[in-house]
């Protein structure tokens, strides 16, 4: 059984994340999408809210597990018997940070491979912080996030 971890902040999950996840499940028997707890970030959505939104967004995929973790990603991957970490690569601007993480993770645990997947071109300019900003300022994010996330954003920013 080939298991991959798809880690991130997912604050909130976007259609770009879902695009990557859907590609990953064609390659692995099971994908664990997991929120990394990070005390230095101040997320818009609580961990529980983010988990709920992900659960709702991925519920049709039976081979996907939704989870969160604390500590090193490579330790978590080992605990989950995963052999791969999936990350999305949208543009060259992502590359430096992603390569640094991938190489550091490989140094920490050579048994876990990082697999980069490219989303559909329509998501290359999309990320969670832009979605939060557009939504906060009253813009339309319908094309960028699942319906359940749109509703949660509206609630956060008190749109009627």
Is 113 a binding residue for ligand PNS by CB under 6 A? The answer is: no
Out of 3, 23, 36, 63, name the contact with ligand PNS by CB under 6 A: 36
Q: Which residue among the candidates 50, 90, 132, 150 is catalytic per the annotation?
A: 90
Say whether residue 130 binds ligand PNS (CB under 6 A). no
Least Cβ distance, residue 151 to ligand PNS (angstroms): 22
Does residue 101 interact with ligand PNS by CB under 6 A?
Answer: yes
> Looking at 7-15, 23-31, 114-122, 133-141, which segment touches ligand PNS (CB under 6 A)?
7-15
Applying CB under 6 A, does 8 fall inside the site for ligand PNS? yes
115 forms part of the interface with ligand PNS (CB under 6 A): no
| 6, 7, 45, 86: which one binds ligand PNS (CB under 6 A) | 7
| 61 labelled catalytic | no
Instruction: Say if CB 123 and CB 19 are below 8 A apart.
Output: yes
Distances (CA, A) of 75 to 40, 98, 115: 20, 18, 17
For the sheet with 84-88, list strands across it.
Answer: 64-69, 30-36, 3-8, 84-88, 113-117
Using CA atoms, how far residue 31 sits from 23, 52, 73, 106, in Å, is: 10, 17, 14, 19
Residue 105, CA distances (Å) to 39, 102, 108, 110, 113 in order: 20, 5, 5, 8, 8
**Choice among 39, 40, 41, 158 that is catalytic:** 41
Catalytic residues: 17, 41, 90, 128
């Amino acid at each position: 059984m080939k298991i991959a971890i798809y880690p991130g902040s997912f604050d909130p999950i976007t259609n770009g994340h879902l695009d990557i996840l859907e590609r990953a499940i064609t390659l692995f028997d099971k994908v664990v999408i997991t929120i990394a707890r990070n005390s230095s970030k101040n997320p818009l959505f609580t961990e529980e809210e983010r988990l709920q939104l992900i659960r709702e967004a991925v519920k049709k995929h039976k081979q996907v597990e939704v989870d969160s973790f604390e500590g090193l990603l490579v330790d978590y991957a080992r605990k989950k018997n995963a052999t791969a970490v999936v990350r999305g690569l949208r543009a060259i601007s992502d590359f430096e940070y992603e390569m640094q993480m991938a190489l550091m993770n490989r140094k920490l645990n050579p048994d876990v491979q990082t697999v980069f997947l490219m989303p559909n071109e329509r998501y290359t300019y999309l990320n969670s912080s832009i979605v939060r900003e557009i939504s906060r300022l009253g813009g339309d994010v319908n094309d960028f996030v699942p319906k359940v996330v749109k509703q949660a954003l509206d609630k956060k920013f008190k749109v009627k």
